[in-house]
Structure 1
Amino acid sequence: MEPMNWGILGAANFAAEHMGPAIHAAKGARLAALATSSPEKAARFEAFAPGLAVHSNYDALLADPSIEAVYIPLPNTLHIEWGLKALAAGKHVLIEKPLAMTAAEIDRLIAARDASGKFATEAYMIVHHPQWQLVRRWLDEGRIGQLRHADVAFTYDNPDPNNIRNRADVGGGSIPDIGVYAYSSVRFAARAEPVEMSALIKRENGVDTFTQVRGEMAGPGGQFSYAALTATRLFARQEVTFQGESGRITLTAPFNANVFGEAQVHLHTKTTTETHRFPGVNQYVLQVEAFVAHIRDGAPYPWMLEDAQKGQAMIDMVRAGEV
């Protein structure tokens, strides 16, 4: 079977450094087109994808009949607009997180997906990493007893006022950039949803740079307390801990595995300590391969638009709970 031809809307740094190479390296996929008006930016993609077709604008790429799937790493406020256009053009679409600015916006994308018969979802890559699948299985199996508490920290320092993540007009801030990981990682692993949330939020120029969340979540095993810290003005930190009545699970590179550090999961109980390491696993490649397998073979996909919408609903709840 011929590989699935992919196109990328825009030459974002993240696409050049991570998702573009992942698409081209994934089994059953090929990066075949890019939309950018900059020859210099296109050259970064052509270096790992020789023969890449470069379109001068997004509409031209969507009109390319050879492209079957589109990846959208545009500014946050443009995700829904171009996701709808890609579906209307008959493309499958993988949209960078956060999918939208509010949960209600995603209704239009779900309706367009259903009407088009094409696949569309959020690029929430961590659910494809075996470390998160392992943690989910451990929690399902009750390896730490009943879950009582989960806490997350995801921080980095980005003071550049011109960086897109520090611009309110395009949906910048720590909550949309990394809150989607801090919140929905626990939702995914514990099969839980928020019950109530309160948040201390600090801003600079209309963009949240520090958000501390406390609340309660509920899953199959009952209700548990939850705490999360996201910040874009602190030294880099990534850590997730699930504490139960009889054990604890800790992830030391939960989100940027093999970039922040080696992915490791530690299980501590009263009598044992168990550690699993995942060197060299590329969660972006796994994400693309799962996307292709879902379309080609009907394989299960762990993160649908409905999952992303519930994650955005939690973000909305955090913002509404500001104190």
Structure 2
Amino acid sequence: MKPVNWGVLGASKFAREHMARAIHEAAGATLYALATSDPKKADDFKAFCPDLQVHGSYDALLSDPAVEAVYIPLPNHLHVEWTQKAIAAGKHVLTEKPIALKADEIDGLIAARDASGLLVTEAYMIVHHPQWQRAKTLVGEGAIGRILHADAHFSYDNRADPGNIRNRPETGGGSIPDIGVYTYGGIRYVTGAEPSRLSARIRRENGVDVYAQVTGQFAGAGGDFTFHAMTSMRLPPRQEVVFQGEGGLIRLTAPFNAGIFGEAQLHMLRPGKPDHVERFPDLRQYVRQVENFGRSLRDGVAYPWRLEDAKGTQAMIDMVFASEEPV
């Protein structure tokens, strides 16, 4: 397979530490170019990719005919704008989550994608990890019976970094846009169900949510089930997802930062049966994401997360904010 030539818009910390390295290491991919106005930031990328081409502006990178696909890790409020510009430049696009801040903003991206014939999607990496794929398969096969309840928890503490884009309202900050996409979208991905009723209790600082507790109900082909999710940027680190069914439960450890927060594991507990544990050490979901993008681009393999999927999760986020109750 001919490698995909990638360009990265912006020298963000996340790109430097994770996605640019994943592109550089992935089979079928070449980290070709970076756009940044600060040459010192480019040096950090050149340390592991010495041949990297550096452009002084985003527009210059989009004008480079050698760049075939673009990864966009910009602040949340810039995602739609630069995804549209990349499509207009004829580039395939992988944009960080959340790809938009309102569900209806994704309609324009879907229309532009369809008109261009390009591969345009959200960088929703968990669906590329076998821990999540196995959970989806097991739930779909009825391994724990009909789902009765699902809960998801994701927290970290960044109060010491007030300048972080996640702590700033003007950049689309908050725990829900940052990590609610995982606690909400992960439940949607595994169950194939959608929320029918939600209630949210949200605490804010400086105009962004720093703690959100959401409860409610999902409706799907397998029946209704209750739901609970907690996201926070002011609590000690915690990551866990649990699906409870009539015949047992499935628990996912390190479900969002596999290999970083801890080892990704799947535990299936069923009365009267031995506990079932699957471990997934040393699997890099960011690398798998890039490789799957390349296979979809080159070989037409179905990509596991479409703009329509991203719109569904964003619609749930919109629903969460609309259902907020006084704290």
Sort the TM-score into its range (normalised by shorter chain): over 0.9
Q: 3-state DSSP class of the match of 2:254?
A: coil
Counterpart of 2:209 in structure 1 is: 208
Counterpart of 2:239 in structure 1 is: 238
Counterpart of 1:174 in structure 2 is: 175
Counterpart of 1:71 in structure 2 is: 71
Counterpart of 1:267 in structure 2 is: 268
Counterpart Cα distance in 1 of 2:235 and 2:311: 28
Counterpart of 1:9 in structure 2 is: 9
Identity in percent: 62
Counterpart of 2:114 in structure 1 is: 114
Q: 3-state DSSP class of the match of 2:104?
A: helix
Q: After the TM superposition, which residues 252-291 of structure 1 pair with which residues of structure 2 at under 5 Å, given as runs?
A: 252-270=253-271, 271-291=273-293
Shift of 1:248: 0.5
Counterpart of 1:21 in structure 2 is: 21
Counterpart Cα distance in 1 of 2:172 and 2:246: 39
Shift of 1:140: 0.6
Q: 3-state DSSP class of the match of 1:222?
A: coil
Partner amino acid, structure 1, of 2:110: I
Counterpart Cα distance in 2 of 1:43 and 1:65: 23
Length-normalised TM-score, structure 1? 0.99
User: Any stretches of 5+ residues in structure 1 without a counterpart?
Assistant: none
Counterpart Cα distance in 1 of 2:188 and 2:103: 16
Counterpart of 1:193 in structure 2 is: 194
Deviations 1:76-106 (A, max 9, x none): 0000000000000000000000010100000
Counterpart Cα distance in 1 of 2:308 and 2:45: 32
Partner amino acid, structure 2, of 1:64: D
Length-normalised TM-score, structure 2? 0.98
Matched, 1:247 2:241: no
Counterpart of 2:87 in structure 1 is: 87
Give the alignment's Cα RMSD to 1 decimal. Answer: 0.6
Q: 3-state DSSP class of the match of 1:209?
A: strand
Counterpart of 1:308 in structure 2 is: 310
Q: 3-state DSSP class of the match of 1:249?
A: strand
Counterpart of 2:226 in structure 1 is: 225
Counterpart of 2:32 in structure 1 is: 32
Q: After the TM superposition, which residues 49-68 of structure 1 pair with which residues of structure 2 at under 5 Å, given as runs?
A: 49-68=49-68
Q: 3-state DSSP class of the match of 1:11?
A: coil
Aligned length: 323
Partner amino acid, structure 2, of 1:107: D
Counterpart Cα distance in 2 of 1:300 and 1:120: 13
Counterpart Cα distance in 2 of 1:129 and 1:179: 18
Shift of 1:39: 1.4
Counterpart Cα distance in 2 of 1:189 and 1:92: 27
Deviations 1:46-79 (A, max 9, x none): 1111210000000000000000000000000000
Partner amino acid, structure 2, of 1:304: R
Shift of 1:117: 1.1
Shift of 1:184: 0.3
Shift of 1:2: 2.9
Deviations 1:159-179 (A, max 9, x none): 121111100000000000000
Counterpart Cα distance in 2 of 1:285 and 1:194: 31
Counterpart of 1:97 in structure 2 is: 97
Shift of 1:180: 0.2
